[in-house]
């Protein structure tokens, strides 16, 4: 059944299920990256009350994860009404010696906002601000300054299951105040015809920033989420140089088609091993589990260029 495209799914998929945390209903849409001599990450765990919370996790090999039962400990500018760790769909960027988590949550108001926190060790997190204009659902930071400024991608949203979604590029000099919002891209192909949102932190290559993103189409029985790929200009990333009209991965495996929300393949983080040139893509399956798939970065870039619109 698998729609093997340029990505190959890991035979051990789903690599993370609710069993990893006692009392969890589901673990999905999580952000992982290299840390020390292994890996670390921020995991979205929905407990059996279906509250979404953020939890730290550590791994030696990127496959077998120890995910903490307790919520991440956020200090700093945390709104009093915010449940500690409440949030979902985290992304983590390594930037200037720290790790910056962006995530979606509801700080008091009726709609989703983007939180920004910094950690050095995935044990203590300091919240810096709510960033981007509310309502907003997906945001991530680039791993370095571009043209002398911090850069982010984000996706304005509404209060519900947003029937629209386009990606904007924004800049900041202090990580707190964001402006110069530039439209970057919106839905283009049929498989992403309803809305799109940035996925993993973009990967810097000589040819430009490799962006993997999610695209959604509306069907008679609801939304279908796939992963897509684009290459952004290295110096002016709001300029999309190439964009595959074909998806990179679509939900065709049972753990992507069946779960709390069927037919969701939600790419959240990507790690490149520059020695083997393999990209490891971590994604949420059916809002229930975490899946892993690999592609050769050169093949992936070629695929995006060859199928570019």
Touching ligand BMA, residues 159-188 (CB under 6 A): 161
With binding defined as CB under 6 A, does residue 259 bind ligand BMA?
Answer: no
H helix intervals, the chain: 254-257, 297-306
Q: Which of 29, 119, 127, 136 binds ligand BMA (CB under 6 A)?
A: 29
Cα-based angle 18, 5, 230 (whole degrees, multiple of 5): 90
* Site residue total, ligand BMA (CB under 6 A): 10
Question: Using CB under 6 A as the criterion, what x/- string covers residues 108-147 for binding ligand BMA?
Answer: ----------------------------------------
Q: Helix (H, G, I), strand (E, B), or coil: what is residue 254?
A: helix
Cβ proximity of 245 and 309 under 8 Å: yes
With binding defined as CB under 6 A, does residue 287 bind ligand BMA?
Answer: yes
With binding defined as CB under 6 A, does residue 13 bind ligand BMA?
Answer: no
With binding defined as CB under 6 A, does residue 89 bind ligand BMA?
Answer: yes
Nearer to ligand BMA, 225 or 282 (CB): 225
Touching ligand BMA, residues 206-235 (CB under 6 A): 225
- Give Cβ neighbours of residue 182 (< 8 Å, ≥ 6 apart): 168, 169, 170, 238
Smallest distance, ligand BMA to C-beta of residue 291, A: 13
Whole-number Å distance between alpha carbons of 292 and 246: 20
Nearer to ligand BMA, 93 or 157 (CB): 157
Touching ligand BMA, residues 37-56 (CB under 6 A): none
Max distance between CA atoms of the chain, in angstroms, equals 51
Whole-number Å distance between alpha carbons of 228 and 250: 9
Stretch that binds ligand BMA, among 58-66, 67-75, 259-267, 270-278 (CB under 6 A): 259-267
Q: Which of 191, 266, 282, 283 binds ligand BMA (CB under 6 A)?
A: 266
Whole-number Å distance between alpha carbons of 88 and 284: 12
Whole-number Å distance between alpha carbons of 264 and 303: 22
C-alpha distance from residue 232 to each of 7, 72, 81, 212, 244 (Å): 20, 33, 38, 11, 12
Nearer to ligand BMA, 198 or 231 (CB): 198
Q: Which of 7, 39, 88, 169 binds ligand BMA (CB under 6 A)?
A: 88
Nearer to ligand BMA, 151 or 216 (CB): 216
Q: Which of 152, 264, 270, 289 binds ligand BMA (CB under 6 A)?
A: 264
Half-sphere exposure of 84 (CA within 13 A, CB side): 11
With binding defined as CB under 6 A, does residue 65 bind ligand BMA?
Answer: no
- Give Cβ neighbours of residue 58 (< 8 Å, ≥ 6 apart): 35, 38, 39, 40, 41, 65, 66, 122
Nearer to ligand BMA, 53 or 171 (CB): 53
Smallest distance, ligand BMA to C-beta of residue 197, A: 8
Q: Return the closest-CA partner of residue 90 out of 27, 172, 3, 183.
A: 27
Q: By the criterion CB under 6 A, which residues form the site for ligand BMA?
A: 29, 88-89, 161, 225, 261, 264, 266, 284, 287
């Amino acid at each position: 059944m698998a729609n093997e495209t340029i990505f190959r799914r890991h035979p051990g998929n789903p690599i993370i299920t609710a069993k990893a945390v006692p009392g969890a209903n589901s673990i999905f849409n999580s952000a992982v990256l290299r840390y020390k001599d292994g890996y670390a990450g921020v995991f979205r765990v929905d407990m059996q009350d279906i509250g979404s919370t953020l939890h730290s996790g550590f791994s030696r090999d990127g496959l077998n994860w120890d995910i903490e039962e307790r919520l991440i400990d956020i200090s700093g500018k945390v709104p009093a009404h915010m449940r500690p760790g409440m949030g979902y769909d985290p992304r983590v960027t390594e930037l200037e010696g720290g790790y910056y988590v962006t995530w979606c949550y509801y700080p008091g108001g009726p709609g989703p906002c983007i939180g920004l926190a910094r950690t050095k060790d995935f044990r203590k997190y300091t919240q810096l601000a709510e960033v981007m204009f509310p309502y907003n659902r997906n945001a991530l930071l680039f791993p370095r300054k571009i043209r002398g400024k911090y850069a982010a991608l984000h996706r304005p949203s509404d209060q519900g299951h947003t029937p629209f979604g386009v990606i904007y590029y924004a800049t900041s000099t202090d990580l707190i105040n964001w402006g110069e919002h530039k439209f970057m891209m919106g839905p283009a192909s049929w498989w992403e015809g309803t809305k799109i949102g940035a996925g993993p932190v973009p990967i810097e290559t000589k040819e430009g920033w490799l962006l993997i993103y999610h695209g959604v189409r509306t069907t008679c029985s609801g939304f279908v989420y796939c992963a897509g790929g684009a290459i952004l200009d290295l110096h002016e990333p709001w300029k999309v140089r190439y964009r595959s009209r074909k998806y990179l991965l679509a939900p065709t495996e049972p753990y992507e088609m069946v779960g709390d929300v069927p037919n969701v393949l939600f790419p959240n983080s990507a790690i490149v091993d520059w020695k083997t040139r393999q990209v490891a893509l971590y994604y949420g399956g059916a809002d229930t589990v975490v899946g892993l798939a690999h592609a050769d970065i050169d093949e992936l870039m070629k695929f995006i260029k060859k199928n570019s619109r």
